[in-house]
Amino acid sequence: MTWPTYSISAGQLRSAYLYGVLIDRANHILENYTPVVGGISPMSRKTTNSGSLVDYCKTIITPIASRFYLNIVYEIVGGGTATFSATYGATTITATGSSSSAATLSIGPFQGSGTPALLSVQYSRDSGDLTAYGALAVAEATTHGIASFPPHADALATGYPITAMQIREMMKSPIDCIKARVPALAWFASTERAAANTITPGGPIWITHAYQITNYDYNPSFKVSILAPTATTATLIGTGNQQSISPSDAAVIATSAAVTGSTLALEFSGPVQSYSVYEV
């Protein structure tokens, strides 16, 4: 989308014109601002011949407050059907696919809880060789994701002239949009079949220039949520401070906020099952 610059003249100060510009852009953002909020990539090391659902992996979803989908890229060679089952909170959704070439299967929607939470994925096939290349959890594309983004034209039309409160809502709504769809700057999920299996990431993981700071964030801060054994410590290092956390059990846990305006680094003292880095 291009962002033309308009000069405002008296003749253009009409509801239909201004609302049209604002609402068209707002709708466009909600239809296309679909950040990754978690993922499993790569999803499988090899093709699988499993005929029953396998507890394959768990990934941490950022504190998204809007709905999201899990997009799985897969193919099944030799004919047959693959079944994918994803569970987030109390919701389990199952979908099937039978593409013989790489294709995307979308599972959802799931309603984001607003806190970091696990999404687990299982899969099987009835015949053929299934390869699951990866899966990304992606915020829903919608024109109705945030009720206040922006005030609806019909509602505004009855409120002539536009009020200061409505202007405030329109100015605030892009921030709400970002906060409701918290992108993951980095993510990982174990590809092992057994839930207890982990890997030891090499470190540190440097996230440089990974995020263009919105200019209304004066002190941008970030957190990492991890699922790891109790002996593992995760440390998120910003330019302003660093924060560490060790999980006390198998629950998802987050560090306190690390502040940085540029570089962010992540280190682990031991193995992890999943992590997700996001702005708070």
Partner 1 sequence: MPIQDATSIYPAGLRSAYVDNPPDGLAVPIRAAHHVEILDRQRMVYRAYPEVQALTCGRFDGTTHGLFQAPPNAEAFSVRLVCAESEITADTTFTLTYNSTAKTKKIAMYTDQNSTPFYQVQIGPWQLASATTDAPALVLVSFAVDTGTPRIFGLYARFTISGA
Among 99, 191, 233, 244, binds partner 1 (CB under 8 A): 191
Q: Which stretch binds partner 1 (CB under 8 A): 28-36, 81-89, 109-117, 235-243?
A: 28-36
265 binding partner 1? (CB under 8 A): no
Q: How far apart (Å, rounded) are the C-alpha atoms in residues 153 and 76?
A: 47
Q: How far apart (Å, rounded) are the C-alpha atoms in residues 69 and 119?
A: 11
Q: Which stretch binds partner 1 (CB under 8 A): 78-86, 108-116, 195-203, 248-256?
A: 195-203
Q: Which is nearer to partner 1, 126 or 193 (CB)?
A: 193
Using CB under 8 A as the binding rule, the residues of this chain from 37 to 56 that contact partner 1 are: 39, 41-43, 45-46
Provide the H-helix boundaries in 158-217. 164-180
Owner of token pair 């983004």 = 149
Using CB under 8 A as the binding rule, the residues of this chain from 80 to 99 that contact partner 1 are: none
34 binding partner 1? (CB under 8 A): yes
Using CB under 8 A as the binding rule, the residues of this chain from 165 to 184 that contact partner 1 are: 167-168, 170-171, 173-175, 177-178, 183-184
Among 33, 50, 98, 195, binds partner 1 (CB under 8 A): 33
Q: Which is nearer to partner 1, 11 or 144 (CB)?
A: 11
Q: Measured on CA atoms in the order 190, 192, 197, 201, is the torsion positive or negative?
A: negative
Among 70, 118, 121, 136, binds partner 1 (CB under 8 A): 136
Query: For residue 95, what are its two tokens?
Result: 């979908």
185 binding partner 1? (CB under 8 A): yes
Q: Which is nearer to partner 1, 157 or 194 (CB)?
A: 157
Of 142, 173, 154, 258, give the one whose Cα is nearest residue 211.
Answer: 258
Using CB under 8 A as the binding rule, the residues of this chain from 203 to 242 that contact partner 1 are: 203, 205, 207-212, 214-216
Q: Measured on CA atoms in the order 215, 12, 26, 170, is the torsion positive or negative?
A: positive
Q: Which stretch binds partner 1 (CB under 8 A): 32-40, 60-68, 229-237, 248-256?
A: 32-40
61 binding partner 1? (CB under 8 A): no
For residue 237, the minimal CB distance to partner 1 (Å) is 14
Q: Which is nearer to partner 1, 213 or 231 (CB)?
A: 213
For residue 26, the minimal CB distance to partner 1 (Å) is 6
Q: Which is nearer to partner 1, 52 or 161 (CB)?
A: 161
Q: How far apart (Å, rounded) are the C-alpha atoms in residues 152 and 195?
A: 46
**Type of residue found at 75:** E
Among 53, 54, 93, 199, binds partner 1 (CB under 8 A): 199
Q: Which is nearer to partner 1, 190 or 260 (CB)?
A: 190
Neighbour-count burial of 178, counting CB atoms closer than 10 A to its CB (0-12 exposed, 13-18 middle, 19+ buried): middle
Q: How far apart (Å, rounded) are the C-alpha atoms in residues 137 and 37?
A: 5
202 binding partner 1? (CB under 8 A): yes
Q: Measured on CA atoms in the order 145, 150, 151, 153, is the torsion positive or negative?
A: negative
> Which residues have CB under 8 Å from 61's CB, separation 6+?
37, 38, 68, 88, 112, 116, 117, 118, 119, 137, 276
Q: Measured on CA atoms in the order 105, 92, 112, 199, is the torsion positive or negative?
A: negative
